[in-house]
Every structure is written in C-alpha cells, then in structure tokens.
Amino acid sequence: MEDLLQSWFPDAPWLAHLAGPGLAIASIVAVLIVVSLAIRRAIDVAVRQGRLDRTAATFVGAVLRYTLLTIGVIAILSQLGVDTASLMGSVGVVGLTVGFAARDALSNVISGLFILWDRPFVIGDLIEIEGLYGRVDRITMRSTRVVTPDGKMLAIPNTTVVNTTVASYTNFPHLRLDIDVTVGVEEDLGRIRQVLLELCEGEPFHDETPPSVVMTAINDYNVALQLRAWIRDESTHLKARFELRERVFEALREAGVNMPFETLEVRTMAA
C-alpha cells in the first residue's frame, strides 16, 4: 500500500508513511467493534437461555467493555510508534499513585464482585439497605442502583451494600405485615382480636398462613397489640401496609375501642 501511494503521490511521501499505521488502526477499531458486538450478543443469548442472570450480565459486560477499551488503546499506541513497554512501566507507577487515591473506587469494584458471588439479591428484587427501600435496577462496577417507590434513583456504593445488613422482600413467596395498635387496659381483648382478624380476609392476604394478634407490651394504662398478616405479592406490601393501618384505625374507632395517645403529665410545685 505504501508503494502504491508513493507512485500516486510522489510529492507527498508523508502520506505513504501514514497509510501503514492508519490502516492498522482502522483494522484494530474494526476488530474491537466486532468483538464487542459478539460479546454483547453472547451475553444476551446466555441471559435468554437462563445460563446467566441479568445481575451478572450487567457487571460482566462492563468489565469486558473496559478491558477491550484498554487493549485497543495499547494496540493503537503501538501502531503509532509509542514504546508501550516503557509506557506500561510509567502507567504502573502512576497506577499505584492513582490506585491509592482511588482506593474507595477500587473497593467498590471488588465489593461488586462479592455481590455477584454471594448473590444476596438480583436485579428486580425489592430490598432495604440502611432504611433505603426500592427495587434493584442494576449493579454497576461502582454502585448498586435502586429505584424507590417515589421514582428516585439511588446509587448505593457497593462497599455499603457488602458491609451492611440487606433486607430482601423478594426471596420468599409471601411477606408479613406488622401493624401496631395501642388500646386501653379496660378494653375486651377478645373482641378487639376478632375485629382485627376480620380485616385480613380475602385479597391481598395469604390464605395458607392465617393472621394473628399478639400482645407485645402492657402497662398500667395501655395494652400494646400487634396484628400480623401475610400478603401474597411482596411488590404491593407498602400499599397494603398503608391501607391495612387505615382500616385498623377505622374499624377500632367504629367499634368504640379506646385508643389512647401518649400524654405528658406536668406538675407544678406550689410556691
């Protein structure tokens, strides 16, 4: 190709010298594109066939993408005449410095690998981390993305996920709702129990696991009860909890049950 360009453009020898690296770089870019598309297709096929879940696919795809980019940059620099061996040595020294400065980012990447290995949750699960609740949207190399019920996208660092207790609402086919109720000590607990249990009939409650009402605390004035009801679909548990709490309040009020609120007694000393 260089000889052909020299014969065509004898007054522009620089053009012939650029032809070799230019074609090589174009070939490298083409190969990288083809390999990238092939990897993406292979990952999609593996996900559809059930051999790879979406959680791992997202993370593996990101790792392979950055790996290909690194290989491509090194190959292109080599074609441009850059001493890649010396460059890699310099990069190693710089990498140590950058790595120390970016140790938190590297910790997140390693934590992401732990998440894929341990699999406490997968994409689509409902989870709660440090009071943050939502559905797992994706797991990146730096963070776990969670969509909250009010439409917010939370980016929770992977190190936080690994080092914190994660509550999953999706691992089991049904979920229990706990509704706390405080009534006066003079009330008929048997009647209150019947009123509360009648609220948990039909959808969305689970027939195979009956609801229950238990006493959790008692003092001179109040009795603390807890209604425990199981629902079928964990994805609706927030809505079901709000609705059940409201129904409990309305039912007890209609039944004339005394629901005392916390009071503060203040006494003054006579002068």
Residue with tokens 């959680």: 55
Mark 219-243 as b/e (b = at least 16 C-beta within 10 Å): eeebbebebbbbbbebeebeebbee
For residue 222, what is the domain's CATH number?
3.30.70.100
At 101, the pLDDT band (50, 70, 90 cuts) reads: very low
For residue 120, what is the domain's CATH number?
2.30.30.60
Least confident of 37-41, 57-61, 129-133, 264-268: 264-268
Q: For residue 128, is it within any domain?
A: yes
Residues 163 and 179 occupy one common structural domain? no
Residues 6 and 95 occupy one common structural domain? yes
204 upstream amide cis, omega within 30 of 0: yes
- Tell me the per-residue pLDDT of 105-155, one tens digit each, with 9 for 90 and over: 778 878 888 888 888 888 888 899 988 889 999 888 888 999 998 889 999
Residues 221 and 189 occupy one common structural domain? yes
Task: Reply yes or no on whether the pLDDT at 258 is more than 80.
Answer: yes
Q: For residue 47, is it within any domain?
A: yes
Q: For residue 65, is it within any domain?
A: yes
Which residue did the predictor score with more confidence, 112 or 80?
A: 112
Residues 91 and 123 occupy one common structural domain? no
Is the CA virtual torsion 151, 44, 166, 169 positive or negative?
A: positive
Q: For residue 27, is it within any domain?
A: yes
Residues 73 and 144 occupy one common structural domain? no
Query: How far apart (Å, rounded) are the C-alpha atoms in residues 19 and 7?
Result: 13
- Tell me the per-residue pLDDT of 229-250, one tens digit each, with 9 for 90 and over: 888 777 777 888 888 999 999 9
Q: For residue 270, is it within any domain?
A: no
Residues 39 and 84 occupy one common structural domain? yes
- Tell me the per-residue pLDDT of 182-219, one tens digit each, with 9 for 90 and over: 998 888 899 999 999 988 877 677 667 888 999 999 98
Q: For residue 107, is it within any domain?
A: no
Residues 61 and 9 occupy one common structural domain? yes
At 261, the pLDDT band (50, 70, 90 cuts) reads: low
Q: For residue 146, is it within any domain?
A: yes
For residue 93, what is the domain's CATH number?
1.10.287
Q: For residue 64, is it within any domain?
A: yes
Q: At what angle do helices 54-79 and 13-48 cross, to 10 degrees?
A: 170
Residues 245 and 197 occupy one common structural domain? yes
Of 48, 69, 101, the one marking the end of a domain is: 101
Domain that holds residue 189: 175-254
Which residue did the predictor score with more confidence, 205 or 165?
A: 165
Which residue did the predictor score with more confidence, 188 or 62?
A: 188
Residues 39 and 92 occupy one common structural domain? yes
Counting the structural domains of the chain, the total is 3
Residues 155 and 179 occupy one common structural domain? no
At 1, the pLDDT band (50, 70, 90 cuts) reads: very low
Residues 45 and 123 occupy one common structural domain? no
Helix (H) or strand (E) holding 208: none
Q: What is the pLDDT of residue 38?
A: 84
Q: At what angle do helices 237-254 and 189-198 cross, to 10 degrees?
A: 140
Residues 230 and 187 occupy one common structural domain? yes
Of 168, 186, 208, the one marking the end of a domain is: 168
pTM of the shown model? 0.56
